[in-house]
Structure 1
Amino acid sequence: MASQARTKKPTPEPREPEPVPGFWLTEATEIAETEHRAPANNPPHGVIAAVVASNTFKDAFSPDTSTEGLVVSMFTAGAFFGAGAAGPLGDRLGRRGTIVAGALFFLLGGGLQTGARDIHMMWVGRLMSGLGVGALCMIVPLYQAELAHPSIRGTVTALQQLMIGIGAFVATWVGWGCYTQLTTTSAQWRIPLAIQNIPAIILAALTFLFPESPRWLGDKGRDEEMLKTLARLHSNNDVNDAFVRAEYEQIKTAVEIEHQQEARSYMDLFRSRSSFRRLFLCCAIQASVQMTGVSAIQYYSPRIFEQIGIATQDTLKYQGISNGLAIIAQTLAMLLIDRTGRRWPLIGGNIFNSVTFIIAAVLLALFPPGESNNLSAQWGFIVVTWLYNFSFSSTCGPLSWIIVAEVFDTRTRSKGVSIATMVSFAFNTMIGQVTPEGMESVGYQFYFLFIVCNITNAIFFWLFLPETARRPLEEMNELFSSNSWIVAGKASKRYNGHDLENRLHEKEHHASVDVQAENAYAETK
């Protein structure tokens, strides 16, 4: 009877997941954190660019070059250590708890900055805000990747970069408005610093409405909660849904294997060949993103704008336009990233970046800042920086977080993403510090560094980066354990958004065939 019942059981048809709960929950997370994470990839700009440029800030703190530099570098230093701390916190407190902790640290730092009475108070506030942003940069894309269905994981994780772009856009125009309109009061710099706290409050409050990561729940042995969370994310709370049951079993099996074999400490990331390969690749991705020149061109282009005769308020305005173009690019990336994949957009983005730096170097060589007033050259340089920002925001920017968040297994994900994020902020700080000196010493020739780095980045990714799009997270172990490190010219098995349903469909089909064969054999007896 049991066999007959099983043969009559309808097999689930492959389908796209119902995205309403999971997709929009994750988008709500990003909307909540929009503005206060803007400085994460753009530390010298966003809010702080208008702040340090304002006359009332200079009157209040009388900053010299090194003092002003510390206002920026204290933030990135805090972000470095915040990303490191978020690794173990993500495993102990859970993904939600770490997000809340990061938001609270940012709020504390934002309050100190807004109410700063001396430069030391400003430095401490920047450090505390950096701690919060570092933790959030590490934990949020990881949380997104663990919530999302494979078919929309890239889209969901790309929301991070889109919302960073919106945050930078809002921050730039708020800063511009305060810079131009509030010229005689400390509100000129206090208001931009205060406004950035509002999204942090919303984020800390709304996070309690979101589900905990099902992978983290499974790792902690809370299987019933994991099943209910998967049902909430993918099937409107139907725990008997075919996809939900298949993913539940796959996560449970993967976690059991990881508990026996995979990394349990940071050192094990370096001992396991598969784990080290992923760690090396993710650290290389984060370092390469900074070596594309994003921090350099965003940090130094406003100074070049000023040198070629553009007023500070116009510089901030052009930066705002650039951030608006970045939003368009990030939106395109979010919509297309799961169709185009990860590998080739990252390669193509680096190649295009190198072209923009070649053009910028030629313009600066032919029309040196401070010596030439060629209006066409000025606009040429401005447009090139816009094109670079569009290219970066549609490829390298979002992909650097998407790939890092999806390649590790459950046991190593928090640790691996933590280390990769620390590498990002370390290189961010380095480039921010050496760019002014480099440009002052060798001028436009400093851009040759980024031309070379973008080209070598493209070659590196062509050689070593496998395609990870639309693969279930639990399949990453197989991808990085069984394939050669060099992937150029080698085909690998493709997965799609229906993978779990297809495997379940195939499993039940084989079971049905076996039962029919048994019945036919019994009838011949």
Structure 2
Amino acid sequence: MANDETEKAIEILAKYHGNGDRHARLVMLEVEEIKENLRQDALYNKGIWDWRPLFATHNSRWRTSQAIMMGVFGQFSGNGLGYYNSSIFNILGYTSSFQQLGFTVVNQVVSATGALTAMTLTDRMPRRKVLVWGTFVGAILLCINAALQNALSKSTVNNVITNPRLAQGALAFFFLFNTANSFTYTPLQGVVPAEALDTRLRAKGLAMYGLVVNVFGFINLYAGPIALNNIQYNYVWIFVGWDFIETVLWYFFCVEAQGRTLEELEWVYNQPNPVKASLHVDKVLVRGDGVVTEKVVDA
């Protein structure tokens, strides 16, 4: 069929699968499957630099959006502040190398605890709820941290901190933010793109995901120290505002994929509103040819 010899192909199928009957149901089904596969190949199997298939259909655009959002939000939710712990500790008045080393170790331990805890729950925890509430909680914790740093700056006279409890509180909430962020994003950064991108899109989709991750990692790496040097703790407020925006975007555009089969996800992403569909699909009816035709909800 790929070489425009459709009639010959049908004759072969009829001979071996239909007892010579061109109109046998199995033969007709196989013909339609072959035609559909050829259509999909023409749509998705383009050049390695042609990323149009990622945005070619409603289904693919929604799938790609999940990977892009995770790529951006996973790198730019305030977790990049951890690259510059020393600068943050200096702002809080902890200038001793021994203190900074100790706090860095503590930060790594609490962040790893959050990440490892989430990893043990990854198979069971709902993606959408974790991303929405985890990002929201992270925004609140980071907001409290920024507010305490603001109060700390006002209580500092001639570079002397008059109220060390403000610094302690800001440090504690910085640790809590890193724990919440690690719980929310560390395991799901690998899971969400893989669940969203089907086999047709996965190679190019993950390549785009990697590009997005590296672009925002680059921004974190080189913009962070400049911002911390120029605007000090006010840099944190940028991430506070952005995390609230992320929360809204996850709420409206995050498709729930936990526990869904490939057929269910295919049905979900073909719906006009995949987010709404993903929250209400319990079962789907799969035809003999593998096509998902409708949703079946348990009473």
Pairwise same-fold verdict (TM > 0.5) = yes
Relative to its length, the structure with more strand (as a share) is 2
Which residue type is aligned with residue 185 of structure 2?
A: C
Whole-Å separation in 2 of the counterparts to 1:390 and 1:491: 28
Partner of 1:323: 108
* Native 8 Å contact 2:123 2:258 kept in 1: yes
Give the deviation of 1:379 after TM superposition.
2.0
Cα RMSD between the aligned structures?
2.9
1:28-58 deviation per Cα after TM superposition (whole angstroms, max 9, x unaligned): xxxxxxxxxxxxxxxxxxxxxxxxxxxxxxx
Partner of 1:129: none
Partner of 2:65: 280
Q: Which of 251, 264, 267 is equivalent to 2:45?
A: 264
**Mapping of residues 72-91 of structure 1, within 5 Å:** none
Which residue type is aligned with residue 303 of structure 1?
A: S
* Native 8 Å contact 1:288 1:453 kept in 2: no
Helix, strand or coil for the counterpart of 2:105?
A: helix
Change (3 A) 1:281 1:316: same
* Native 8 Å contact 1:255 1:410 kept in 2: no
Helix, strand or coil for the counterpart of 1:340?
A: coil
* Native 8 Å contact 1:282 1:420 kept in 2: yes
Partner of 2:89: 305
Whole-Å separation in 2 of the counterparts to 1:492 and 1:389: 33
Partner of 1:29: none
Which residue type is aligned with residue 301 of structure 1?
A: N
1:330-364 deviation per Cα after TM superposition (whole angstroms, max 9, x unaligned): 22212223323100010011111111111111121
Q: How many residues align?
A: 245
Q: Which of 145, 150, 174 is equivalent to 1:365?
A: 150
Whole-Å separation in 1 of the counterparts to 2:187 and 2:141: 19
Change (3 A) 1:478 1:381: same
* Native 8 Å contact 1:356 1:385 kept in 2: yes
Q: Which of 252, 259, 266 is equivalent to 1:477?
A: 266
Whole-Å separation in 2 of the counterparts to 1:494 and 1:396: 26
* Native 8 Å contact 2:94 2:100 kept in 1: no
Whole-Å separation in 1 of the counterparts to 2:36 and 2:162: 66
Whole-Å separation in 2 of the counterparts to 1:281 and 1:490: 13
Change (3 A) 1:259 1:417: farther
Helix, strand or coil for the counterpart of 2:231?
A: helix
Give the deviation of 1:378 after TM superposition.
2.6
Give the deviation of 1:488 after TM superposition.
5.4
Whole-Å separation in 2 of the counterparts to 1:331 and 1:491: 27
* Native 8 Å contact 1:286 1:400 kept in 2: yes
Superposition misfits of 4+ residues, deviation over 3 angstroms: 254-260, 488-491
Which residue type is aligned with residue 67 of structure 2?
A: C
**Mapping of residues 424-435 of structure 1, within 5 Å:** 424-435=213-224
Partner of 2:138: 353
Partner of 1:417: 206
Helix, strand or coil for the counterpart of 2:281?
A: coil
Q: Which of 307, 332, 340 is equivalent to 2:125?
A: 340
Change (3 A) 1:280 1:399: same
Relative to its length, the structure with more helix (as a share) is 1
Change (3 A) 1:335 1:400: same
**Mapping of residues 50-449 of structure 1, within 5 Å:** 260-261=39-40, 263-265=44-46, 266-295=51-80, 297-307=81-91, 308-368=93-153, 370-372=159-161, 374-449=163-238
TM-score norm. by structure 2 comes to 0.73
Whole-Å separation in 1 of the counterparts to 2:162 and 2:205: 49
Give the deviation of 1:280 after TM superposition.
2.3
* Native 8 Å contact 1:464 1:488 kept in 2: no
Whole-Å separation in 1 of the counterparts to 2:257 and 2:97: 43
Give the deviation of 1:328 after TM superposition.
2.0
Change (3 A) 1:326 1:315: same
* Native 8 Å contact 2:145 2:171 kept in 1: no
**Mapping of residues 5-84 of structure 1, within 5 Å:** none
Q: Which of 474, 493, 497 is equivalent to 2:281?
A: 493
Give the deviation of 1:314 after TM superposition.
2.6
Give the deviation of 1:373 after TM superposition.
5.6
1:421-462 deviation per Cα after TM superposition (whole angstroms, max 9, x unaligned): 210110111122222222222222222211111111111111
Q: Identity, % of aligned pairs?
A: 21
Whole-Å separation in 2 of the counterparts to 1:313 and 1:255: 67
Change (3 A) 1:255 1:383: farther
Give the deviation of 1:478 after TM superposition.
2.2
Q: Which of 235, 239, 246 is equivalent to 1:457?
A: 246
1:45-94 deviation per Cα after TM superposition (whole angstroms, max 9, x unaligned): xxxxxxxxxxxxxxxxxxxxxxxxxxxxxxxxxxxxxxxxxxxxxxxxxx
1:165-209 deviation per Cα after TM superposition (whole angstroms, max 9, x unaligned): xxxxxxxxxxxxxxxxxxxxxxxxxxxxxxxxxxxxxxxxxxxxx
Whole-Å separation in 1 of the counterparts to 2:253 and 2:58: 15
* Native 8 Å contact 2:89 2:95 kept in 1: yes
Partner of 2:12: none
Give the deviation of 1:474 after TM superposition.
4.9
Whole-Å separation in 1 of the counterparts to 2:282 and 2:272: 13
Change (3 A) 1:474 1:419: farther
List alignment gaps of at least 5 residues for structure 2: 1-32, 287-299
Whole-Å separation in 2 of the counterparts to 1:328 and 1:321: 11
Whole-Å separation in 1 of the counterparts to 2:279 and 2:260: 15
Give the deviation of 1:256 after TM superposition.
9.3
* Native 8 Å contact 2:146 2:170 kept in 1: no
Which residue type is aligned with residue 333 of structure 1?
A: A
TM-score norm. by structure 1 comes to 0.43
